[in-house]
Every structure is written in C-alpha cells, then in structure tokens.
Amino acid sequence: MVTLTPTKLVGCFMFGIVLVLIGGIVDILYHEILPKRIQKEVTLEKGSKIYDDWVENPVTTYFQVWVFDIQNPEEVIERGDKPFLAERGPYTYREYRQKYNITYHANKTVSYRELQYYVFDEEASVGPESDTITSANVLMMTLADIIKREYSYVTELAEIILDAADDSKLLTKYTVSQLLWGYEDPLLKRVNSILQKYNKTIDIKIGLFYGKNNTDDGLYTVFMEKSKLGEISRWNRLKELPHWTTKTCRMINGTEGRFFHPDVKTKDILYVFASDLYRSFYLDYLGEKQIKNIQLYSFVIPDELFAVSDDNAGFCTPYGHCTPAGLQNISLFKQNAPIYMSQPHFYAGDPDIINSVIGLHPTPIIHQTILDVEPTRAQTVTNTSTKYPCAGFTFWPPAQTVTNTLTKYPCAVLNVWPPDSSTDGNQHINKIFLCGPQFLASRLEYRR
C-alpha cells in the first residue's frame, strides 16, 4: 500500500491545478482567441494570409465525369424498348484555376476573372478519353429546333435535316472527349456553308463543355467585408439574371462555393452561384464530421430546390412550361440544345422519369450535392463543386426529337454527370493546419 505524504499530496494537487489551467487556456485559445485572429486573417486584400490561395488554388483539384452508355440502341430504335444505361467512369481531369485582372474598388469590392483549364489524368480514370459510348444525338435535336425557330425560310436546310433524320441516327456513338469537349461535325459544316449565303453563321463544333476549357466564366465583383466575404455583388456587371421570370429566381446570391463568410454556424443557409447553370443554389446544414481532428460542417442542397413549386416557377422556360420534379431547362444557355439539368441519377426527381430508363439508382449522400466546410475559416474542404453544384446533363422529353420513335413514354437519356470538382481533402486539411494558428490549438487540444 502506497502512503502519500503531505508533500506528495500537495504536489498532486498542484499538478491537477496546472492541468485544469492548461485545459482552460487551451479551450479559451481554441474557441475564442484563435477564431478572432483567424477572422482578421481571412480577407481578400493583397498580402493577407489567404490572398495567394484565393488567386490560385494551392491544392490539387480534380474534375471527375461519369457517362452513361446506352447498351441496347437497336432495341430502343426498332422496338421502343426502354434504354438500358451502363454507368462508366470516372474520367478524371486535373483542374487548374487562376484569377487575373484583379481590381479593387472604393466600395470594398474586388473584381476579377478566373482562367480555368483541364488536363486529362488517365491514371486516375477508368479508361482513355477515346473510349466510345452510345448516347442521344443532341446535334440532330438542336439543329432541328434551330432551323424550325430561326431559319425555316431556308428550304435547303430543311432538306438536309430530313435527309439526315432517319431513326437510326437518333442515337449515336461518341468518344468521351467528343461528348465533353466537342468535335467538328460534317453536318454542321454543311449547314454553315448554306447559311453563309445569307450572311449567317453557326459554330461547326458541338460538345457539352465545348468552349469551357482554357477560358473564364465571366467578370465577377465580390464583397470584401467580413460578413459578406466572397459574396457576389455582380456577375458580368449584372445584379440579377435576365432570363428567369421571377425576381427571386433572377437573384445572384452567394459565393463561388470554395469559401464563405468566416465563423459559419449550423443555423446558416449557404448560397452558391453557378455561372454555367445560370442560377443560385442554397444549402442547408446536414451534420458534422472530422478529418485529422478538424471539425467540418456538412451542408446539402435540399430536395425542394428541384420540386415543382411556386418558389421554382421562375425557372420554367418558356414561362408556364415547367419540367417534372428534379429537372431544370438550361437550353437557353446551351445554344438552345434540348439539355436539362438534374442531380446525378435524377436524385429527387419524378419517379416517372427515373423509371423511364433502366440503370438509374438515385441514392442519398452518394448522389446529393454536399459541401464540407471548415467553419472558422469557412473554406470548403471536400466534395467541392464550384462549377456544377448540381450536376447532370439530360435530354428530355424525346418529343423534341425529329421523329416520334421515342415518344411512347417520357424517356430521359442521361448523358453525363460530373458529381463534383473535388479537392484532395487531406491536402486541404494540411493546408488549414499549417497556414495558421489553428495548427497549434489542434495539437494542444489533442494532447490535453
């Protein structure tokens, strides 16, 4: 039996007091002092802690794409069977972004453009870009619509389309590269040569992301003050978007999605503007997680964002022509191609659309759009999706095709869904650790 002398008792007591004091100091340091210091550092002014990272992303970022390959094209064309979709991917691209033409204004805003380009990473992909898939012939759909609306007086064009529009060409083969980044099409060349006689021209290349590589997506002006840090004031000098039909739908809300105002709370609703989809989105708090002892808040785009409702009526184009739940018409911004946006696998979509094909399996978490945010610095860490917060390019309804072959049911052919432009979470966490005082507090708290 060990007997504690008065001296030992006093020593143990003092040691306990020291531990309590250290714990209290660390708690104050981590939860009160450091957040205030970090908030002072989080500014877009040149020379600040985050300025260089804001101008050029310091961590490796990937843009990953999954495509759907129609496995039974003959049966679809000849018998009207449901398309059987096989998902293939990921096809991975390293994404590079760098801001330029950075201009500061007296009203505490800053304007810039951001160059973005993509380099294929075959080692991180399921196969080469030369892989072929069978998908809907968006070119045929688009040309038929354009000629009907704008060039119906040019009889030569109508004859070309009628010659080309046999049922066998409603579905066609593409390489992954052609589908994503575009290709020169002989039919477009023929159409363009005829239009030139009338002093008109059209682009002879077509692709889902054609014109989006090695370019920028517009002129941004964002707020610099802490409470609105990074929130977009204007985009291409616009305060609201002209094409939607209600004021709330036209509003430009939120940031680009890579960071938000410092000290994010669980009660906050986060807003993101996606220029390629020409609208803003909001995300609700979902839950917490930890990576390397760093606390993260997860925010998710709610199902009602894609519901058929009064709140979403302004996104119906033309006015009053609303799509089923889960779809949004973005043809106005895709050269009038019949392209619709959805979440991957039509998550939160109308069951009739989901069941019109075989091979869609919408699953929570996997196919929802989720941002993981470090709340103090308010940086998005994993699952970031600044370009497509909700992704999935679809063709719906087949009644817009040039024949009636596929109009027996509301078939929805999902062409491609890029779930996110995801950073390496560990790299980003290491960056958060090492670039500020949070590194010390995290280590002290871990040893407490």
Which one has a higher pLDDT value, 311 or 43? Answer: 311
The domain total for the chain is 1
Which one has a higher pLDDT value, 388 or 323? Answer: 323
Residue 393 lies in a domain: yes
Q: Is the pLDDT of residue 421 over 50?
A: yes
Range from 109-118, 192-201, 338-347 that averages highest in pLDDT:
109-118
Q: Which of 117, 122, 68 is nearest to 91 (CA)?
A: 122
Residue 250 lies in a domain: yes
Q: Which residues of 161-178 are buried (b: 16+ CB within 10 A; e: fewer)?
A: beebbeeeebbbebebbb
Give yes or no for a contact between 83 and 358, defined as CB atoms under 8 angstroms apart. Answer: yes
Which residues form the domain of 202? 42-447
Which one has a higher pLDDT value, 33 or 193? Answer: 193
Residue 68 lies in a domain: yes
Q: Which of 208, 183, 177 is nearest to 93 (CA)?
A: 177
Q: Is the pLDDT of residue 328 over 60?
A: yes
Which residues have C-beta within 8 Å of that of residue 190, sequence separation ≥ 6?
A: 160
pTM given for the model: 0.80
Specify the 3-state DSSP secondary structure of 324. Answer: coil
Give the model's pLDDT for residue 388: 41
Residue 347 lies in a domain: yes
**293-303 pLDDT per residue, tens:** 888 999 999 99
Rounded to the nearest 10 degrees, how much is the dihedral formed by the CA atoms of 36, 42, 47, 53? 140
Rounded to the nearest 10 degrees, how much is the dihedral formed by the CA atoms of 249, 228, 333, 122? -130
Give yes or no for a contact between 346 and 326, defined as CB atoms under 8 angstroms apart. Answer: yes
Q: Is the pLDDT of residue 238 over 50?
A: yes
Residue 48 lies in a domain: yes
Residue 175 lies in a domain: yes
CA-to-CA distance for 42 and 202, rounded, in angstroms? Answer: 46
**Mean pLDDT score, 40-47:** 78
Which one has a higher pLDDT value, 434 or 19? Answer: 19
CA-to-CA distance for 404 and 287, rounded, in angstroms? Answer: 47
Encoded tokens for 70: 């129609």
Query: Please, which pLDDT band fits residue 18 given cuts at 50, 70 and 90?
Result: low
Q: Which of 190, 188, 193, 191 is nearest to 206 (CA)?
A: 188
CA-to-CA distance for 109 and 103, rounded, in angstroms? Answer: 9
Average per-residue pLDDT for the chain: 77
Give the model's pLDDT for residue 22: 64
